Amino acid sequence: MLTMAIPTGRSMEDAAELLTKADILPPDTDPGRRLEIPLRDMRIILVKPQDVPPLVHMGFAQLGLAGQDVILESGARVAVLHDTGLCPCRMVIAGPPKAREGLMNSPNRKLRVATKYVRTADQVLPQRGLRTVTVPLHGSVEIAPALGIAEVIMDIVQTGNTLKANGLSVLMELFPVTMRLIANPGALNLQWDRIRPMLERIREVSG
Ligand code: PRP
Ligand code: MG
């Protein structure tokens, strides 16, 4: 049985539309509260975005759709088969105007960065010449500077509305984020005959 994990939440609609265009998911499929969609010869499971890479890595799903942000943060060893270009956003450092100065030159003190991307922050920020301490939050990180929890935040930005509404702006661009098709490396070998036609259809419809 081939299983594909797709993310619930914001990107679910785009993921479902892509799979419908690729003829994998029948149009107007409504699973209701059910988290498993059985199809003719495979199934789709609906899971939290952060759970897609680990479930694919562990082989509970052979394929998955996941944002580059959660792929990196998971540290999961998965094969990236295709960049769909969907759900485009950017990983950035943002802060209030007064944080701009301290970003690159805080010789005495490490900069506190609030984020839900703890692993990514520890990996990427030193490469950008930043000396930071990561302050983990599960979300709503834009509140952190106002509370004094951290000087800046690291998060994804799509429209920029959340930053603006909280008096923050982008201080440093880190990397672009889009939704990728990922696979379990072992399954790629064993089930390539089944995976290849799906990959080709997804490629065709997502350009
Ligand atoms: C995400 C992200 C930003 C916001 C970006 O948060 O963490 O806060 O969306 O979108 P925008 O640039 O269009 O405003 P989400 O709403 O998923 O909630 P969370 O951070 O609490 O998980
Ligand atoms: Mg948020």
Kindly state whether residues 17 and 70 are assigned to the same domain.
yes
Q: What local confidence, expressed as pLDDT, does residue 75 receive?
A: 97
Protein residue closest via CA to atom 22 of ligand 1: 139
Would you say residue 85 has pLDDT above 80?
yes
Assess whether 120 and 163 both reside in one domain: yes
Tell the residue number behind the tokens 């990514």, with chain if given.
Answer: 120
**CATH number of 27's domain:** 3.40.190.10
The pairing of strands 89-95 and 42-47 is unpaired
Residue 102's pLDDT is what? 80
Average pLDDT over residues 125-132: 94
What is the pLDDT at residue 107?
A: 66
Q: Can you read off the two tokens belonging to residue 177?
A: 């984020």
**Ligand 1 closest atom vs CA 156:** 2
- Listed in sequence order, the residues at least 6 apart from 108 whose beta carbon sits closer than 8 Å to its beta carbon are none
Are 155 and 94 within 8 A, CB to CB? Answer: yes
Cα-to-centroid distance, 88 and ligand 2 (Å): 15
Q: Is residue 23 domain-shared with residue 50, that is, in the same domain? A: yes
Same domain membership, residue 10 and residue 24 = yes
Q: CB–CB of 135/113 below 8 Å?
A: yes
State whether the beta carbon of 139 lies less than 6 angstroms from ligand 1. Answer: yes
Task: Kindly indicate the confidence band of residue 104, based on its pLDDT and cuts at 50, 70 and 90.
Answer: confident
Range of the domain at 184: 2-87+178-206
Number of domains in the chain: 2
Regarding whether 142 and 122 lie in a shared domain, the answer is yes
* Same domain (yes/no): 110, 80: no
The predicted-structure confidence for 9-55, as pLDDT tens digits, reads as follows 999 999 999 999 999 999 999 999 999 999 999 999 999 999 999 99
Per mean pLDDT, which range of 12-26, 92-106, 125-139, 162-176 is the poorest?
92-106
102 CB under 6 A from ligand 1? no
One domain for residues 50 and 117: no
> Do residues 78 and 111 both lie within one domain?
no
Do residue 80 and residue 111 come from a single domain? Answer: no
Rounded to the nearest angstrom, the distance between the alpha carbon of 105 and the centre of ligand 1 is 28
